[in-house]
Structure 1
Amino acid sequence: MSITDNHDYSGKYHHMAIYPDSRGFTLSGLLIVIAVLGMLATFAVPRFVYRQADAHAAAIQSLAGSVRTAAYLAHELANTQERPASVTMQGETIALQAGYPTAADIRKAVVGVAGFTFAPGVWTRNGARAPLQCSVRYVPPLRPGSVPQVDIDTRGC
């Protein structure tokens, strides 16, 4: 029986390797693989972080649009009711200031907000690098005829 013949006369397999001394990885081979993976990680991690920041900034932009829309819908509803002190939207009573939702009640007019923490007039993004600088701020008008101000801050996203 030769070294490449893996069968004995009974048809059973014996030693399968042509070179029985070569098994597994060498230490130098493992070090090269680790070094290559380390180099790949140095390029992949920053891209992942930037994409995550972009996702937070996009969520801020989307929420700001929702806040503006909700404020104007509440305002138009108030106009149809001869400027009441509050309106009811989606089963929620929303207090008005100069015809627009107050800073405390704007949250009731905006639906489907997930991933944010709300304090009166301010939403901050959960999971952002600096949540206070990754936010949407709503400021209702002080007098009738003015419009609310919706500001975004994406510096900390």
Structure 2
Amino acid sequence: MESGTHSTSHVDDQSYFILENTVKVVHVVQCQDVVTHVYVDEKKKAQPILLGEILGLYQAVCVDIDQIRELTSIVREARQKIFADGVVTSTAQKNKLIEEFYVAGAPQEVDVQPPEVVSMKGSGSRLPSRVEKALKLKNKPLCQCKKCQEWGHHDSRN
């Protein structure tokens, strides 16, 4: 495969895989129904602003107990107003986004088979030490190499 070309493997009429000279396989979908979500960038921009406002309010009222109590009551009222329908957990929001993206929910029942039984009988072989390897090599008879005509423990065949 040349470095400038890509090979493609078609799965169906609407999607295909791009196989590059890298380890990653990129799955490309050619469907117009897929909606891209841009909320991540907006959320990352809005979070530091919110945290800065909260920290600024806390620093402004931290010296007076009456102001602390008043700010606490305002925050509780705002929480009740925002979460009037109930608190939505981040897991539920993520599951909703995934279902919207893939246009399919998680299956109600998952069929999982147990792993195959593996026999663990027997033990591993003992690894010889460097000294034992050297003694074994020393006791071997020398043979003549067919390529370089030297006597030793090597041969052109192996």
**Quick check: TM above 0.5?**
no
Point out the structure with the larger strand share.
1
| Larger Rg, first or second structure (1 or 2) | 2
TM-score, normalised with respect to structure 2: 0.24
TM-score, normalised with respect to structure 1: 0.24
